[in-house]
Amino acid sequence: MAQDCYLSILQQYWGYRDFRGIQREIIESIGSGHDTLGLMPTGGGKSITFQVPALAKEGVCIVITPLIALMKDQVQHLRDKGISATAIHAGMSRKEIVVALENCIFGGIKLLYVSPERIGSDLFQNKLRRMKVSFITVDEAHCISQWGYDFRPSYLHVADIRRLLPHVPILALTATATPQVVEDIQDKLNFEHRNVFRMSFERKNLAYVVRNTTDKYGELIHILSSVQGSAIVYVRSRKRSKEISEMLNKHQIPSTFYHAGLEYSQKDERQKDWQQDRIRVIVATNAFGMGIDKPEVRLVVHFDCPDSLEAYFQEAGRAGRDGNRSYAVLLYNNSDQRKLHKRITDTFPEKEFIKQIYEHLAYFYQVGLGSGSGHIFSFDIDKFCRTYKHFPIQTDSALKILERAGYLDYETDPDASARLMFMLNRDELYKLESTTAHEELVITALLRNYGGLFTDYVYIDEGLIAQQTGLNQQQVYLLLKGLSQRRILHFIPQRKTPYITYTQRREEMNRIIIPKEVYEMRKEQYVLRIQSMIHYAENDDVCRSRQLIRYFGEEKSRDCMLCDVCLEHYTNQLSEDRIEPAKAIITAFLHDGKKHHITELHQLNIPERQLHGALAELISEEEITMEGSFLLMEN
């Protein structure tokens, strides 16, 4: 009966005929109240596994995810389907958070998306006690593991929820986890019993290729000219994304670029241009791709080498989700190895340097010894580095380590979108007589484009409002500020400046303790990931697909026959100097004049590809005859 319930929900809201892969098994497991870990590669349909049972069960499903952009996107998609969903995260005001949480308490919400930073707050935990929670979903669950490539200290607060709601089951989901991380996730989340569902990491339609080249720009143009269709090119820096996009456009390859520093409206416009095939290639940093639903991507090229196989596999996996032949190409040369090794010292600077950053931060904000706890400061990293003559990359890494050590919160990517909620109800709004013509245009555009403005804070795109009203973005901003001051609506402008929060009082520099598990142990894991990435790029003996899925603990694997390694081996094994000896062995075996079943040839210990190649040549040259499954020499 439950299966029929889940299927009818899937068909009603998503329009799919049936579940795929391991979706049903995961849904039935969490639906039955069992702690569940689902390993589903990119494109495996993770969101269905918690959204469907959330609608089938009474109460609110809490979804913990670090991806604010994806969080907002999913909430909007769910609302478009008529499903009540909301989100709270570090970029929101206290008032906004209270409104969202109260709606959950009163039963108006089925899915509550929460950033990990929020779940540790007293406000959230106090409100949580009054909610009826169906189950907790932990997306990107590898972030809770110290051994995960993307460990986030804020994820450890998930265990706090577990203590508050001991009988509420947890669904943990991730697209990339090694066997060690799989075990650690279940430990950290206090699973009652080990319960893991795995999809195979094998992608039978995806050809993994490593191109060793000193001319990456020329090779990129050659690849894009050889493989038609939609493509993503991943790079490490914002500057390079723009440079490569401009270079491709000069070679008549329609391209745009994407990175976290763009305005929200720019990102949205470029993403739509690419998704709707107005632009063929999007050159992007790793800020692009999460939650992107474009199944017909034919090619993903990594211009720069990622620092882990987890990141590479996740990004490469955005190609070929429609099941058709696609390519994941890594451009590599000797300088990549040097750059990867340099990332170790950039990501884990010396401890003395980290302590010095802590000290200089106190000077920068004039925080005295024994004070500062709870104080929040906007952080201009370029100004800070100019003032104290530090390099930004190492400074950024030092602050992240200080965060993991518990001395501060370092918010590097606060939400950039503006948001608002009407303070008047709809009838009061229509009765207003004091609004100007421009204000009327803005209010009309808001009501036309966004729902739920009278009950909750909604993210808006000022660029879109400007476009529809014929005003410029600065005019829209000033009009919204004016409407907010008159309490017609509450407008919270976008902000991009990172900020730092002192989580404890300032200590003396020599009393700063950076624990082994925060520094030495994580550095060791990082070095191993770097080495695994280099080994993958330089190993030309083992099938690329086999290397990747073995890394994720999948023992049963076979050569893909698509990657550069397999094709090279296949070509070598069919070379004349290998085929001729195989032909001689076969003819000697058949020289007795008797019929032999084809399976008897396997006892000759000839490699399979050589055997088939030699046999095909002997038959085409009419030296041997094949009758059904039997072979014999020609007279």
For 518-547, how does the pLDDT look when each residue is reduced to its tens digit (9 = 90+)? 899 999 999 999 999 999 999 988 999 999
Residue recorded with tokens 């808006």: 460
Q: How far is Cα 87 from Cα 112, in angstroms, rounded to an integer?
A: 6
Q: What does the pLDDT read at residue 299?
A: 97
Q: How far is Cα 315 from Cα 371, in angstroms, rounded to an integer?
A: 43
Q: Give the confidence band of 1 by pLDDT, cuts at 50, 70, 90.
A: very low
Q: What does the pLDDT read at residue 545?
A: 94
Please tell me which residue, 485 or 620, carries the higher pLDDT value: 485
Cα 122 from chain centroid (whole Å): 29
Q: How far is Cα 313 from Cα 42, in angstroms, rounded to an integer?
A: 8
End-to-end distance of the chain based on CA atoms, in angstroms?
A: 69
Q: How far is Cα 259 from Cα 288, in angstroms, rounded to an integer?
A: 7
Burial 564-577 (b: 16+ CB within 10 A, else e): bbbeebeeebbeee
Q: How far is Cα 102 from Cα 108, in angstroms, rounded to an integer?
A: 9
611-615 long-range contacts, CB within 8 A, separation 24+: 611/582, 611/586, 613/573, 613/574, 613/579, 613/582, 614/579, 614/582, 614/583, 614/586, 615/586
Strand 85-88 and strand 111-114: the pairing is: parallel
Q: What does the pLDDT read at residue 90?
A: 58
Average pLDDT of the chain, as a whole number: 88
Cα 587 from chain centroid (whole Å): 55
Across 94-98, 315-319, 416-420, least confident range: 416-420
Q: What does the pLDDT read at residue 410?
A: 87
At a CB cut-off of 8 Å and minimum separation 6, what does 455 contact? 103, 421
Strand 326-332 and strand 206-212: the pairing is: parallel
With 70 as the cut, is the pLDDT of residue 111 above it? yes
Average pLDDT over residues 536-560: 89
Q: How far is Cα 420 from Cα 584, in angstroms, rounded to an integer?
A: 80
Q: What does the pLDDT read at residue 207?
A: 95
483, 439 in Cβ contact below 8 A?
A: yes
Give the max Cα distance, the chain.
106
Q: How far is Cα 9 from Cα 19, in angstroms, rounded to an integer?
A: 11
Q: What does the pLDDT read at residue 558?
A: 83
Strand 630-633 and strand 624-627: the pairing is: antiparallel
Q: Give the confidence band of 280 by pLDDT, cuts at 50, 70, 90.
A: very high
| pLDDT digit string, tens, across residues 90-110 | 566 677 888 899 999 998 899
With 80 as the cut, is the pLDDT of residue 619 above it? yes
With 60 as the cut, is the pLDDT of residue 154 above it? yes
pLDDT above 70 covers what percent of the chain? Answer: 96
pLDDT above 90 covers what percent of the chain? Answer: 53
Q: What does the pLDDT read at residue 229?
A: 95
**Dihedral Cα 118, 120, 126, 131, nearest 10 deg:** 60
| pLDDT digit string, tens, across residues 459-500 | 787 878 888 899 988 899 899 999 999 899 998 887 667 889
Q: What does the pLDDT read at residue 415?
A: 56
With 70 as the cut, is the pLDDT of residue 414 above it? no
Q: What does the pLDDT read at residue 356?
A: 97
Q: Give the confidence band of 220 by pLDDT, cuts at 50, 70, 90.
A: very high
Across 187-191, 253-257, 575-579, 594-598, least confident range: 575-579
Q: How far is Cα 550 from Cα 61, in angstroms, rounded to an integer?
A: 34
Across 4-8, 47-51, 287-291, least confident range: 287-291
Domains of the chain, CATH where assigned:
5-198 (3.40.50.300), 206-332+529-552 (3.40.50.300), 341-415+498-514 (1.10.10), 419-492 (1.10.10.10), 564-633 (1.10.10.10)
With 80 as the cut, is the pLDDT of residue 55 above it? yes
| pLDDT digit string, tens, across residues 174-202 | 988 889 999 999 999 999 899 999 988 88
At a CB cut-off of 8 Å and minimum separation 6, what does 12 contact? none
Across 225-234, 247-256, 552-561, least confident range: 552-561
Q: Give the confidence band of 68 by pLDDT, cuts at 50, 70, 90.
A: confident
| pLDDT digit string, tens, across residues 328-384 | 999 999 899 999 999 999 999 999 999 999 999 999 999 999 999 988 888 889 999
Q: How far is Cα 500 from Cα 190, in angstroms, rounded to an integer?
A: 31
DSSP 201-217: ---TTEEEEEEE-S-HH
With 50 as the cut, is the pLDDT of residue 78 above it? yes
Q: What does the pLDDT read at residue 333?
A: 93
